[in-house]
Amino acid sequence: MKALGLMVVVVVGALLLYAVGDFPAWGDPQSPASQHEISRHFITQSIPETAVPNMVTAVLADYRGYDTMFETVVIFTAGLAIIGILGMARLTDRESLKPMAETRPGDRDMIVINTCRQVIPIMQLFAFYVVAHGHHSPGGGFQGGVILGASFILWAIARDLPTALQGIKPRRIVFLAALGVVIYAGTGVLSLAMDAKLLDYSALHGFLPPAPADAVPNEIMARSHGMLIVEIGVAFTVSAIMFGIYTYLSSMGRLKGGL
């Protein structure tokens, strides 16, 4: 079995390396991927059409917003799958799984708890900043959502899992995740109701704040605002699902012990 695996790997590797000779040289501006007109369109037309300097966010949330909506649904489904796999089973008599050392919230490490108390609000503020500033700097919904979820995980590691779950009940985790998907899809459906295509944010310019000092037309500014709304939806879903996956993985579905 091992010899067969090694042979397969060597053959596939040799085939791939044979194709390496055809690849473009490193960093070539004339390579086919860089010369294609759609990349050039994204780079040059991102500010005139959407008023967002970060091209990656513009492409992710506006030009390819359909992909991102279904990616959010995929993350939500993965979280539901983990809850379904681990949460439903009754515990057999393998109770000898290591019981956690201290489960009383009273006497954990003073240093750990106080450090986390200082750090976690700053983490959450930074997560909101990353989501909101994703139009002008690297960032956006996914990065901010993961940082927000990681702050909850940090609280669950510093204390223990039941203490952290008192603030965010398991049912509320699923509700927050679903709320994120509804925000995203709802924006698209609202555009449909305004007699435009799905996820066409410029149709929402009646609801959203107008552009300052009329520098750009209102429809273009509406695209920038619409992107912010869907990024907030993505951040909700990603943060809730990351924390939800952690609670179920670290306690084997029992939601009692924890790391």
Partner 1 sequence: MIWQFDLIVLVLLVVTAVISLHVKDLLSASMVFGVFSFLICLLWAGMGAVDVAFTEAAVGAGVGAVFLIATVFNTTRDSSD
Partner 2 sequence: MDIFQDIVIARFNYWIYVILMMVGLHAMIVKNNLIKKLIGMSIFQAAIILFFVSVGVKDGATIPIVSHHGHAEESAETWHSVDPGHPDEGAVHDHGHHEINPDRHANPLPHVLMLTAIVVGVATLGVGLAVSQKIYREYGTLEENELLEKLRSNDG
- The nearer residue to partner 2, 203 or 243, going by C-beta atoms, is 243
Q: 216-255: which residues touch partner 1 (CB under 8 A)?
A: 242, 245-246, 249-252
- The nearer residue to partner 1, 149 or 226, going by C-beta atoms, is 149
Count Cα neighbours of 142 within 13 Å in the Cβ-side half-sphere. 10
Give the type of residue at 39. Answer: S
Within a 10 A sphere around the Cβ of 8, how many other Cβ atoms? 10
> Near partner 2 by CB under 8 A, which window of 25-33, 159-167, 193-201, 202-210?
25-33
Within a 10 A sphere around the Cβ of 250, how many other Cβ atoms? 16
9 is a site residue for partner 1 (CB under 8 A):
no
Cα distance between residue 116 and residue 258, in whole Å: 17
Q: 87-116: which residues touch partner 1 (CB under 8 A)?
A: 97-98
Q: Shortest distance, CB of residue 23 to partner 2, whole angstroms? A: 6
- The nearer residue to partner 2, 48 or 206, going by C-beta atoms, is 48
Q: Is the dihedral of CA 217, 223, 228, 229 positive or negative?
A: positive
Q: What is the DSSP letter of 201?
A: G
28 is a site residue for partner 2 (CB under 8 A):
yes
Q: 37-66: which residues touch partner 1 (CB under 8 A)?
A: 54, 56-57
Cα distance between residue 102 and residue 55, in whole Å: 49
Cα distance between residue 135 and residue 143, in whole Å: 13
Q: 152-191: which residues touch partner 2 (CB under 8 A)?
A: none
| C-alpha closest to that of 102 among 41, 44, 162 | 162
Rounded to 5 degrees, φ, ψ at 104 are -80, 130
Tell me which of partner 2, partner 1, none is bound by residue 64, counting a contact when its beta carbon lies within the kind-specific cut-off of 5 to 8 angstroms.
partner 2
Q: Shortest distance, CB of residue 5 to partner 1, whole angstroms? A: 13
Question: Encoding tokens for residue 154?
Answer: 């940090």
Rounded to 5 degrees, φ, ψ at 246 are -65, -45
2 is a site residue for partner 2 (CB under 8 A):
yes
195 is a site residue for partner 2 (CB under 8 A):
no
Which H or E run includes 18? helix 2-20
Q: Are 168 and 159 in contact (CB under 8 A)?
A: no
Which residues of the chain form contacts with partner 2 (CB under 8 A)? Answer: 1-2, 5-6, 8-10, 12-13, 16-17, 20-21, 23, 25-29, 31, 33-34, 38-40, 42-44, 46-48, 53-56, 59-60, 64, 67-68, 71, 74-75, 78-79, 81-82, 85-86, 89, 92, 94, 136-138, 142, 146, 215, 238, 241, 245, 248-249, 252
Which residues of the chain form contacts with partner 1 (CB under 8 A)? Answer: 54, 56-57, 97-98, 138-140, 142-143, 146-147, 149-150, 153, 242, 245-246, 249-252, 259
